[in-house]
Amino acid sequence: MKDKLNAILEKAREQVAQSADLNALNDIRVQILGKKGELTEVLKSMKDVAAEDRPKIGQMVNDTRAEIEGILEAAKSKMEAAVRDAKLKSEVIDVTLPADRNRIGHRHPNQIALEELERIFIGMGYEVVEGPEVEKDYYNFEALNIPADHPAKDEQDTFYVNGDILLRTQTSGAQVHEMEKGRLPIRMISPGRVFRADEVDATHSPSFHQVEGLVIDKGITFADLKGTLEHAAKELFGADTRVKFRPHHFPFTEPSAEMDVSCFKCGGKGCRFCKGEGWIEILGCGMVHPHVLEMSKIDPREYTGFAFGFGLERIALLKYEIDDMRLLYENDDRFLRQF
């Protein structure tokens, strides 16, 4: 038995010495020490050994196993060290070379403009309220004083899911949802994506963003509207900015107006940026129509309010002097990295 164990040990030494890699070592381990290995077979034959010799033979088998395991472990450590050294030599890093600059992403121009608008209005006590992009026809049109046969609905006819569900054409629906809650007073802005059947060109897109505002309270007048929007314009475009209101018509406000700001490039003298006018149209606004208040269960004899709406892309185009709206959506890194 001793001779057999010595033969297994010498065979293990020879095979380990000839092993080229870790896989070969593993094969030797399985061949000698595995469940069907040579040393395991010796242990199985212990039943044929005399009872008084079994402790001695068992100790010899255990000593042989321990020695073989030691040989395998030493060879494994040596091979792993060699592999590690070879890898270090092949992956040498010259720490004297300049490092690659880590380019970090940043906010999109639209997001920068939105956050600035939110900062301005939150500073005046407004809250930011978001609404669903997929909206009921009622909230998108009828609750805003635009019945089915109103001409304004033809202008905004958009993408319908079915006869009653559509992709919203304005974020005003969020204002109606808020009015229906009956929690007065209201001071809110509602930013978000809207959809209209527009052709794509330098100033139009079938998908764009709006930021609409609403104030409902007792004693609100057009003077409050003018003061609020003048302050917002000065915050956006500079302290010297002047505003001008022109009569207009919106179905959900009465009276209604469009607001212009003095050109912040030429100070109102007239230049290429403002097309020689000295003024730039910036938003639409007006006092909330009494019928709109009534449809949301608000008494127009007790409460009044005003509403306004920015085109977010228009703000970004003006602030950063971008001449083509499509640049905002093309994901051209050469353009976006400027911001």
In the chain, the number of structural domains is 2
pLDDT of residue 147: 83
Phi/psi of residue 77, nearest 5 degrees: -60, -40
- Is residue 101 situated within a structural domain? no
- Is residue 69 situated within a structural domain? yes
Distance in angstroms (rounded) separating the CA atoms of residues 339 and 327:
13
Same domain? For 47 and 132 the reply is no
Same domain? For 114 and 46 the reply is no
Q: What is the H or E stretch that residue 257 is in?
A: strand 253-262
Same domain? For 183 and 115 the reply is yes
Same domain? For 41 and 134 the reply is no
Please give the mean pLDDT across all residues of the chain.
86
Same domain? For 191 and 323 the reply is yes
What three-state secondary structure class fits 78?
A: helix
* CATH number of the domain enclosing 323: 3.30.930.10
- Mean pLDDT over 182-204 rounds to 90
Same domain? For 143 and 69 the reply is no
- Is residue 237 situated within a structural domain? yes
- Confidence band for 76, pLDDT divided at 50, 70 and 90: confident
Which residues pair with residue 244 across a beta bridge? 260
Give the pLDDT confidence of 83-124 residue by residue, as tens digits.
Answer: 888 887 887 777 788 877 777 778 889 999 999 999 999 999
| DSSP code at position 170 | S
- Is 262 a residue whose pLDDT tops 80? yes
Q: Which residue has the higher pLDDT, 122 or 317?
A: 122
What three-state secondary structure class fits 167?
A: strand
Share of the chain above pLDDT 90, in %: 41
pLDDT of residue 30: 77
Hey, CA dihedral for 68, 69, 74, 76, is it positive or negative?
positive
Range of the domain at 230: 109-336
- Is residue 276 situated within a structural domain? yes
Same domain? For 253 and 323 the reply is yes
